Structure 1
Amino acid sequence: MIDFRYHLVSIVAIFLALALGIILGSTTLSQSVTKGLQRQTSSLARSNEELRQSQARMEAQLKGDESFARAMGPQLVADRLNGQSVVFVETPGASNDSIEQLSALAKSAGATVTGRVTVQKKFLDDNQTGTIDELATQLRPPAMAFPEGSGPYEKAAAVLASAVVTRDGAMTGREDASAASVLGGFRQAGYVTVSGKPGQHATLAVMIAPSSLYAYEGGDSDNRALLALAAALDGTGRGTVVGGPSTAAQKGGLIAALRDSDTVKSVSSQDTVDTASGQVVTILALQNELSGRSGRYGTGSGVNGYLPSPVPAAGGNG
């Protein structure tokens, strides 16, 4: 006869067997999972090492390309801007290094660098628009008429451009009373500073975009103010290029704003101006501007290519 003790022992045996099965199964599963994870870890380690090696090779290649462009740049641009002159316009937050390097390269291309105009933050202050309007009207050359509907920055841009660039070869290399008055007035008001002799009327202009975005409220209006100046420089002189680092071609940047505006039809842009190769391309873009050809160069969205295609011939400066 099967008694209660038999049932109890059977039940205990069943549970012991179940527990043992779970333990054995878990151990087997754990070993399987562990081995799988070890294989994945080894594979990831190999992939990471390959990526590190690939990155190191790319960095070495980029460093080599930069060294090549830095060393060969003066020869690559030689005689491309013979007989021309260049003025640099520095925006708030622009890289001084880029201007210095581009200035040296422009000289290697045969151009004279007249000087630099540095736009101050005060010029972009929304509270200054009334004063800027009055100052531009006061300093306007007698022969200049503002287009109907011109705002303060369009007026100021036209007046400033008339002081630093020209299409007339007879005006280059000398500063007249009007240019001195304009630059002096904007300087005394705290809107610009100058170095060199930008009033000697260059034929070409390079505007260097900020290295970081104008992220604060009103950044878009600041970009529009600077684009008004770029457009005026281009229209008054023989060509203008806006150059900046890759950040300037991102949303909110000056170059991105340029490429989204009608000004892109006449003003060239270059978004790797902080590199040696980008500086060479900026000189090529200036050369193309002399022939009335504008383009978007670099690596950002909507570019025509890294450099002009076809590359303008050496010595052919329009």
Structure 2
Amino acid sequence: MIDFRYHVVSLVAVFIALAVGIALGAGPLREGLSSTLESEVSQLREERTVLREQVDAADARAAAREQAFGRVSTRVLEGTLSGVSVGVVTLPGADRNTIDELEDRLSTAGADLALSVDVSDDWADTEPDEARTEALDSVRELVRVPEPREGAATEVGTALAAVLAGADQPGDLGAWRRAATILEDEGLVDLTWHDATSDSFTDRRPPDTLVVVSGGLDAAAVEEPAGEEALATRLDLVDGLAELDVPTVVAGQGTEKAPQEGEDHLDPLVGAVRDDRGLAQQVSTVDNLEHVTGQVATAMALAWALDGRAGHYGLGRLADASLPQVPPVRTVSVGVPVPDPTGDDGQDGSGQTQDEGTDAGDAGGQADGEGADGEEAAGEGGTGDAGADGTQEDGALGDLLPDPAATTSS
């Protein structure tokens, strides 16, 4: 049994040990212990300074490389999307500054930014809503809405896909515009047209190709029911665009940040597209949109998507490469203008039509005198002296003139 004497002895032992420690620390061990600690602290400070300098130097080199790549990319991108109308779909949580930089790259490539679509935060809400249900029913009457993926709680994703694809119901041309207004009035999307005018009309056709910019979801979020439903709705949108044969690139960000052990910075939508073998063969993805290489890759991937080629680019899982191959420059076909003739005699060669050229040939033959060889008369009548200005050699060969409806590439 523990008695009072035991407690006394224990306390005495503790105080003796404390006294011995103080004596040693203030005496023979003081000098060595203090110098050792000071040396270690000094060494740690030096190492921290060196590491900080290395990080600063690495950041400076990375910034210089990014700037150089940005300048070179201008030459690489020029003309690769000439004459192509592009729509940018911004999903909830996407970074606006990154999107502005992406749009600059698309403009550099020659694209026409036709439409910006900002998707609302609650578009993936699965709670029963009578007004939304009626709106989607109205949209379905106007456009051909693909079936949602298995297990989808709502068809808002495929409805938006049908609108952006311009999938009008047969016999109802332009119905997709009215369907877009319905979605906008319901508060599901906000559409901004960047009007491109041609002569006297405003061009508001469906975009030739689309960039879907993801954001606001991470690996942890999609483990929750709300995040899982949001991802399913986003995937429905992409799947619907693929089913309607719209050239599409899905772009996310996050992989430029070095992951810690067990972390995955790959955007969930990008990862879901890559994991779906069938969808991955139809839709391209980019996983590092926050960096200039990702923005350039997105523009280049769009150019290849127009030719039916899909690829996956960036630094994340299942990426094919950091960048696609350089796409060819795209030419734009324009009509050849045919000026009106300046007079009834057709003497202005630049304004001659086929019939006028033939008349000029006949007149030239008569002016050369009777008895002249018919072949010689025809030849003289079709020369530049007769006013043809070198554009036709014989009135009888008027069918060799360029067709006014012909096109040329610029």
TM-score (norm 2): 0.61
Structure 2 counterpart of 1:254, from 253, 263, 269: 269
1:116 aligned partner = 116
1:176 CA displacement: 4.8
Take 1:288 and 1:60, find their aligned partners in 2: how far apart are those partners?
Answer: 33
2:320 counterpart of 1:304: yes
In structure 2, what residue type is equivalent to 1:300?
G
Q: Closer, same or farther in 2 for the Cα pair 1:196/1:145, shift >3 Å?
A: closer
Q: Closer, same or farther in 2 for the Cα pair 1:187/1:152, shift >3 Å?
A: farther
Q: How many residues in Structure 1 have an aligned counterpart in Structure 2? A: 290
In structure 1, what residue type is equivalent to 2:236?
A
2:210 counterpart of 1:205: yes
2:229 aligned partner = 221
In the TM superposition, 1:233-252 aligns within 5 A as 233-246=241-254, 250=265
1:51 CA displacement: 0.7
1:231 aligned partner = 239
1:7 aligned partner = none
Is the CA contact (8 Å cut-off) linking 1:164 and 1:200 kept in structure 2?
no
Is the CA contact (8 Å cut-off) linking 2:304 and 2:310 kept in structure 1?
yes
Take 2:21 and 2:135, find their aligned partners in 1: how far apart are those partners?
Answer: 92
In structure 1, what residue type is equivalent to 2:289?
V
1:84 aligned partner = 84
2:389 aligned partner = none
Take 2:142 and 2:115, find their aligned partners in 1: how far apart are those partners?
Answer: 25
Higher-Rg member (1/2): 2
Query: 5+ residue gaps in structure 1?
Result: 1-18, 168-174
1:191 aligned partner = 188
In the TM superposition, 1:138-149 aligns within 5 A as 138-140=138-140, 144=144, 146-147=146-147
1:307 CA displacement: 1.7
1:93 aligned partner = 93
1:55 aligned partner = 55
Q: Percent identity between the aligned chains?
A: 24
In structure 1, what residue type is equivalent to 2:300?
L
Q: Closer, same or farther in 2 for the Cα pair 1:223/1:134, shift >3 Å?
A: same
1:275 CA displacement: 2.4
Take 1:90 and 1:24, find their aligned partners in 2: how far apart are those partners?
Answer: 70
Structure 1, residues 118-138: CA drift from partner, whole Å, max 9, x if none?
A: 111231111157755553343
Is the CA contact (8 Å cut-off) linking 1:132 and 1:152 kept in structure 2?
no
Is the CA contact (8 Å cut-off) linking 2:80 and 2:329 kept in structure 1?
yes
In structure 1, what residue type is equivalent to 2:240?
A
Structure 1 counterpart of 2:177, from 180, 184, 190: 180
Deviates more, 1:278-287 or 1:197-206: 197-206
Is the CA contact (8 Å cut-off) linking 1:85 and 1:204 kept in structure 2?
yes
Q: Closer, same or farther in 2 for the Cα pair 1:72/1:153, shift >3 Å?
A: farther
Q: Select the structure with the greater relative contact order (CA < 8 A; seq sep ≥ 6).
A: 1
1:192 CA displacement: 0.8
| Higher helix proportion (structure 1 or 2) | 1
Take 1:106 and 1:230, find their aligned partners in 2: how far apart are those partners?
Answer: 20
SS at match of 1:121: coil
Is the CA contact (8 Å cut-off) linking 1:166 and 1:203 kept in structure 2?
no
Is the CA contact (8 Å cut-off) linking 2:144 and 2:162 kept in structure 1?
no
In structure 2, what residue type is equivalent to 1:49?
T
Is the CA contact (8 Å cut-off) linking 1:137 and 1:155 kept in structure 2?
no
Query: 5+ residue gaps in structure 2?
Result: 1-18, 196-203, 257-263, 332-410
SS at match of 1:93: coil
Take 1:104 and 1:149, find their aligned partners in 2: how far apart are those partners?
Answer: 34
Is the CA contact (8 Å cut-off) linking 2:142 and 2:175 kept in structure 1?
no
1:148 CA displacement: 8.6
Is the CA contact (8 Å cut-off) linking 1:234 and 1:266 kept in structure 2?
yes
Take 2:49 and 2:226, find their aligned partners in 1: how far apart are those partners?
Answer: 46
Q: Closer, same or farther in 2 for the Cα pair 1:67/1:228, shift >3 Å?
A: same
